[in-house]
Amino acid sequence: MGTETLRFTTYAGSYVHGLDGGERTQLTCTTSGPDGATTGTVLASGPRSILDWETTADKATIATAVLGHWVGRPPSQADLHEFLDEIAGDWVAGQPWQLTGEQLERAGFQP
């Protein structure tokens, strides 16, 4: 996934209603190519008790999914610490968030 093939990349964490009526957490990636076509991918989805961004461990799970998708390999421990310090530190439990490819690149993560 190179930046030369993608115009915009946005990762988002949100809460959605599950089929059972309960709230679920969803991690998505949306990309827009040079031709303007947009694709969306669900990277992870699950009940809030399993997938969330409330604790540091929860944020590390999200970081692993985002970085694995963005850089195309499992992140190192140093990558995870950098992500948690530079990107996920402001995330608030119960509040959706968005993260762009530009933000990832500024933090030193290259696709």
What is the per-residue pLDDT across 30-78, written as a single tens digit (0 to 9) for each? 999 888 889 999 999 999 888 999 999 999 999 999 999 999 999 999 9
Q: In what order do the strands lie in the sheet with 8-17?
A: 38-47, 23-32, 8-17, 97-100
Please report the pLDDT score of residue 75 as a whole number.
Answer: 96
Domain boundaries, the chain: 8-105
Residues 90 and 81: their CA atoms lie apart, in Å, by 14
Residue 43 DSSP one-character state: E
What is the per-residue pLDDT across 16-42, written as a single tens digit (0 to 9) for each? 988 888 889 999 999 998 888 899 999
Whole-angstrom Cα Rg for the chain:
14
Of the pLDDT bands very low, low, confident and very high (cuts 50, 70, 90), residue 98 is very high
Please report the pLDDT score of residue 96 as a whole number.
Answer: 97
